């Protein structure tokens, strides 16, 4: 949210400077994201007077002006504005100044052969509004020679991040109230002035949806003139907030929203027919909103409608048909209280965001209907004239105040600060809480974030100063500290380092997914679907880490990346027994694009395949402490994977430690990503804990005293036999002497019987206390051949 210092001082009497205000805002929980000084943009522009204006000798639409800048001789300036004339005062940009609207640096130049020393500026060129038909005309008393920044009172602008739990600070007034409570000045509330009315409201106003719209107030103002611009002070404040001035009527509603956090709406009365009603939309009804888009509604949404149909998506955006124009003369002013949850659901369904929705779905002040309508009426009648009618009040806003029994000693117990009771009472009172003698605290209805005593402690602590909380070290037992990380946390740290060492890049993706993507990876499990999600694209808790990594890989590919090597350690979420949350710690890997770039030695390069996925899975499982030598390679990786290029790694038939392989073309199509893409998912909770673990073990390394012995074996095996099964059988022949075995060649073709393949295995033998004898090596070799024979293998001659 943006606001100017000048606007803040309308609600806050303070002498504090920009730096002090920014520090106070950060201190009380309103993070200052930036401070902008418009005076810097206006450097080089000053108030000037046109002394003479003569026609340009070589251009029909240009004039040659002599301009008094208040310093030295008058300057000659070429100007094309139709309103430029002798005697007027305007704004001159001197050579060296930069025009805010387009970044153009002004220089002395010749225009059609006539020298020009700067430029007389329009409102649009200085980003002060949208007018550009002529140059700025200043009042007669404008001091010639004064810098325009000083004359215009260009006030610094704060950009503040308001947390979702503080809708009461979505207006400048709320910010001022908090700063006053923090001791930065005196709060100046704006009292709504009495409105003289011309009689009863001529139009029926009612709410037929008390759940979605508990209160709907309105009045008519006849005889307004919307051709006049809004006041300069109003436009200046709106521009500071990043709001473009539109018309006097619309600017008044925007001002009310930004100043007081209270959205309202203006309807052209001539475009309404019959009663104006807050009701549920009918399934299939449509409305063209002010953003010129048409939305299809359903019966869960609240709308404002008349006899002819829908005019407003309640609390989110008005309709194009009934909006005020320059020709509008009679208006209906509407201010209402809408159910925050219903506003949020409607906005997400329609994918429609607006400033009004931001405030309504967080909860506006339900007590500010009458005052808000009175202030809006006053703003409009002072600018546009008109005669207001009496107010029609339909429904009742939920204004019952929450009462909390508060113990002031709780502040020290929860917040760590010993704040005197008198100061606590003063802080809460300054924030508009009512505190009785027995410490019963009555909360203002606009403070939707206050639910119990702990929230009141937070209010006291943040205003008193959270920096005052004393830093106290945690108690520690003497001697060596006990480990604080759990075995799972230690495993995750090892995996994170191992994955990074293997060239993978860590990604952190959302724990939420679109429902369709979540269902694609659910494998029949019951999903966690949120009732009130951030958006429709974040509705289901993820049952797998792969969808988020796929989306990240796609974003990289869309931006020209040749490939992605991503991993993430996180949680999968399912519904457990009796609806309880079931979280599964998991590591996911996605490899896409090029494994090796094309070159003169390898032609087109290489893509990732299922063997790359298996290599990552085995290496990472080994880093996590899994007994990779005992793993079984089996199928059934899931329908998301290619059935002929994927598998699972298991300890026994049922304990699945990981799945890996190439993703199915249907999966790639669902995520709109080009293949091939391979993925790994390691289920950390399935990895068995080491026996006897639980303490720190001193790392030791004892190199073997004797040299290893290697022997090569070539076996004829059935073509369908997995090489891993053969290697496992070879390893099991003598678990003490055989320390490693690996496949180094696979061949099928001439010399190999049909239906078979030749698999060559290198075996590493490690002697113990003495070197192997030939007889011992032969005995081990015989065991290897015998074990291999059990898998259908035959030693080649």
pLDDT tier for residue 473 given thresholds of 50, 70 and 90: confident
pLDDT (average), residues 691-700: 49
What does the pLDDT read at residue 602?
A: 61
Q: Pick the last residue of a domain from 359, 375, 395.
A: 395
Number of domains comprising the chain: 6
Residue 458 known to bind ligand: yes
What does the pLDDT read at residue 603?
A: 65
Could you report the per-residue pLDDT of 771-787, keeping only the tens digit for each?
Answer: 999 999 999 999 999 99
Report the chain's terminal Cα–Cα distance, integer Å.
82
Q: CA geometry: angle at 288 spanning 284 and 293, to 5°?
A: 105
**Is residue 693 one of the residues assigned to a domain?**
no
Residue 615 sits in the same domain as residue 494: yes
Q: What is the mean pLDDT of the chain?
A: 91
Residue 74 sits in the same domain as residue 181: no
Residue 259 sits in the same domain as residue 304: yes
CATH code of residue 445? 3.30.56.10
**Is residue 194 one of the residues assigned to a domain?**
no
pLDDT tier for residue 698 given thresholds of 50, 70 and 90: very low
Could you report the per-residue pLDDT of 360-405, keeping only the tens digit for each?
Answer: 999 999 999 999 999 999 999 999 999 999 999 999 999 999 999 9
CATH code of residue 226? 3.50.40.10
Residue 658 sits in the same domain as residue 670: yes
pTM for the structure as a whole: 0.68
Residue 166 sits in the same domain as residue 138: no
pLDDT (average), residues 325-342: 94
**Is residue 704 one of the residues assigned to a domain?**
no
What does the pLDDT read at residue 700?
A: 58
pLDDT for 699 beyond 60: no
702 touches 774 (CB < 8 A): no
**Is residue 696 one of the residues assigned to a domain?**
no
pLDDT for 25 beyond 70: yes
**Is residue 475 one of the residues assigned to a domain?**
no
Residue 558 sits in the same domain as residue 633: yes
pLDDT (average), residues 346-353: 92
What does the pLDDT read at residue 202?
A: 94
| Strand order through the sheet with 309-313 | 205-207, 276-280, 302-306, 309-313, 317-318
Task: Write out the E strands in 654-731.
Answer: 655-663, 677-683, 709-718
**Is residue 198 one of the residues assigned to a domain?**
no
**Could you tell me the residue range of the domain that residue 13 belongs to?**
2-37+156-187
Residue 268 sits in the same domain as residue 348: yes
Q: Pick the last residue of a domain from 395, 422, 454.
A: 395
What does the pLDDT read at residue 696?
A: 40
pLDDT for 74 beyond 90: yes
Gap between the Cα atoms of 446 and 366, Å rounded: 7
Could you report the per-residue pLDDT of 395-410, keeping only the tens digit for each?
Answer: 999 999 999 999 999 9
Percent of the chain residues past pLDDT 90, beyond the cut: 72
**Is residue 698 one of the residues assigned to a domain?**
no
230 touches 379 (CB < 8 A): no
Could you report the per-residue pLDDT of 151-175, keeping only the tens digit for each?
Answer: 887 789 999 999 999 999 999 999 9
pLDDT for 601 beyond 70: no
Residue 468 known to bind ligand: no
Looking at per-residue confidence, does 755 or 581 come out higher? 755
Q: What DSSP character marks residue 639?
A: T
CATH code of residue 96? 2.40.50.140
Could you report the per-residue pLDDT of 419-461, keeping only the tens digit for each?
Answer: 999 999 999 999 999 999 999 999 999 999 999 999 999 999 9
Residue 133 known to bind ligand: no
Residue 459 sits in the same domain as residue 591: no
Residue 232 sits in the same domain as residue 358: yes
Could you report the per-residue pLDDT of 514-539, keeping only the tens digit for each?
Answer: 999 999 999 888 888 888 787 878 88
Could you report the per-residue pLDDT of 559-573, keeping only the tens digit for each?
Answer: 888 889 999 999 999
pLDDT tier for residue 692 given thresholds of 50, 70 and 90: low
Listed in sequence order, the residues at least 6 apart from 341 whose beta carbon sits closer than 8 Å to its beta carbon are 361, 532
What does the pLDDT read at residue 694?
A: 47
CA distances from 720 to 133, 404, 750, 754 (A): 83, 74, 18, 12
pLDDT (average), residues 308-317: 94
312 touches 303 (CB < 8 A): yes
Residue 769 known to bind ligand: no
Could you report the per-residue pLDDT of 227-274, keeping only the tens digit for each?
Answer: 988 998 999 899 889 888 899 999 999 999 999 999 999 999 999 999
Q: Pick the last residue of a domain from 376, 395, 414.
A: 395
Residue 496 sits in the same domain as residue 590: yes
**Is residue 362 one of the residues assigned to a domain?**
yes
Task: Give the tokens for residue 2.
Answer: 């943006």
Residue 333 sits in the same domain as residue 224: yes
Torsions phi, psi of 122, nearest 5? -95, 170
pLDDT tier for residue 697 given thresholds of 50, 70 and 90: very low
CATH code of residue 600? 3.30.930.10
Least Cα distance to 586 among 599, 568, 608, 574 occurs for 568
Residue 85 sits in the same domain as residue 176: no
Task: Write out the E strands in 474-577.
Answer: 505-506, 512-513, 540-541, 563-575
CATH code of residue 782? 3.30.70.380
Could you report the per-residue pLDDT of 100-109, keeping only the tens digit for each?
Answer: 888 899 999 9
């Amino acid at each position: 949210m943006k606001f100017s210092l000048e606007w803040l001082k309308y609600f806050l009497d303070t002498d504090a400077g920009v730096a002090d205000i920014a520090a106070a805002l950060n201190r009380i929980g309103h993070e200052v994201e930036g401070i902008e000084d418009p005076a810097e943009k206006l450097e080089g522009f000053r108030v000037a007077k046109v002394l003479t204006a003569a026609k340009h000798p070589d251009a029909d639409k240009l004039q040659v002006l002599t301009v008094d800048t208040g310093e030295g001789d008058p300057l000659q300036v070429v100007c094309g504005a139709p309103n430029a004339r002798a005697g007027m005062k305007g704004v001159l940009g001197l050579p060296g100044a930069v025009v805010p609207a387009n970044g153009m640096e002004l220089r002395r130049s010749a225009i059609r052969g006539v020298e020009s020393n700067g430029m007389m500026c329009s409102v649009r060129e200085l980003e002060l509004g949208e007018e550009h038909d002529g140059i700025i005309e200043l009042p007669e008393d404008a001091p010639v020679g004064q810098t325009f920044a000083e004359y215009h009172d260009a006030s610094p602008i704060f950009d503040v991040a308001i947390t979702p739990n503080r809708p009461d600070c979505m207006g400048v007034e709320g910010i001022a109230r908090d700063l006053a409570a923090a001791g930065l000045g005196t709060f100046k509330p704006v009292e709504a002035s009495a409105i003289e009315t011309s009689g009863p409201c001529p139009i029926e106003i009612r709410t037929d949806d008390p759940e979605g719209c508990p209160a709907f107030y309105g009045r008519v103002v006849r005889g307004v003139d919307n051709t006049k611009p809004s006041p300069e002070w109003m436009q200046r404040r709106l521009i500071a907030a990043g709001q473009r001035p539109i018309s006097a009527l619309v600017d008044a509603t925007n001002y009310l929203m930004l100043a007081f956090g209270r959205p309202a709406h203006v309807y052209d009365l001539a475009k309404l027919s019959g009663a104006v009603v807050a009701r549920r939309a009918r399934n299939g009804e449509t409305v063209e909103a002010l953003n010129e888009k048409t939305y299809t509604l359903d019966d869960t949404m609240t709308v404002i409608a008349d006899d002819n149909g829908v005019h407003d998506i309640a609390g989110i955006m008005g309709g194009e048909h009934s909006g005020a124009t320059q020709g509008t003369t009679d208006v209906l002013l509407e201010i209402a209280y809408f159910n925050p949850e219903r506003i949020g659901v409607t906005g997400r369904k329609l994918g429609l965001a607006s400033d009004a929705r931001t405030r309504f779905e967080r909860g506006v002040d339900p007590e500010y209907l009458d005052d808000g309508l009175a202030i809006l009426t006053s703003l409009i009648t002072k600018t546009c004239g008109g005669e207001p009618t009496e107010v029609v009040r339909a429904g009742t806003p939920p204004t019952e105040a929450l009462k909390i029994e508060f113990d002031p000693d709780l502040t020290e117990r929860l917040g760590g600060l010993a704040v005197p009771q008198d100061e606590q009472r003063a802080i809460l009172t300054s924030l508009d809480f009512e505190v009785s003698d027995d410490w019963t605290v009555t909360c203002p209805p606009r403070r939707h974030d206050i639910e119990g005593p702990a929230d009141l402690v937070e209010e006291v602590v943040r205003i008193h100063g959270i920096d005052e909380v004393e830093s106290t070290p945690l108690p520690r037992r003497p001697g060596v500290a006990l480990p604080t990380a759990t075995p799972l946390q230690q495993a995750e740290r090892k995996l994170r380092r191992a994955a990074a060492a293997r060239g993978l890049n860590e990604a952190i993706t959302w724990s939420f997914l679109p429902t369709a993507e979540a269902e694609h990876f659910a494998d029949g499990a019951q999903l966690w679907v949120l009732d009130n999600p951030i958006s429709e694209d974040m509705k289901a808790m993820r049952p797998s880490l792969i969808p988020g990594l796929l989306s990240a890989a796609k974003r990289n590919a869309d931006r020209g990346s040749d490939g992605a090597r991503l991993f993430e350690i996180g949680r999968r979420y399912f519904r457990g027994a009796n609806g309880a949350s079931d979280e599964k710690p998991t590591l996911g890997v996605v490899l896409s694009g090029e494994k090796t770039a094309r070159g003169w030695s390898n032609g087109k390069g290489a893509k990732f395949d299922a063997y790359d996925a298996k290599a990552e899975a085995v290496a990472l499982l080994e880093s996590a402490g899994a007994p990779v030598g005992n793993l079984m390679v089996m199928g059934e990786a899931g329908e998301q994977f290619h059935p002929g290029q994927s598998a699972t790694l298991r300890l026994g038939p049922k304990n699945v430690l990981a799945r890996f392989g190439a993703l199915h073309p249907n999966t790639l199509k669902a995520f709109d990503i080009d293949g091939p893409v391979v993925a790994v998912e390691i289920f950390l909770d399935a990895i068995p804990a080491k026996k006897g673990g639980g303490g720190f073990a001193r790392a030791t390394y004892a190199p073997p005293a004797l040299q290893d012995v290697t022997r090569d074996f070539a076996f004829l095996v059935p073509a369908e036999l997995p090489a891993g099964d053969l290697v496992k059988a070879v390893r099991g022949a003598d678990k003490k002497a055989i320390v490693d075995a690996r496949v180094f060649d696979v061949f099928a073709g001439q010399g190999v019987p049909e239906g078979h393949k030749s698999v060559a295995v290198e075996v590493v033998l490690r002697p113990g206390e003495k070197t192997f004898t030939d007889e011992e090596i032969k005995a081990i070799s015989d065991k290897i051949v015998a074990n291999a024979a059990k898998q259908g293998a035959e030693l080649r001659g």
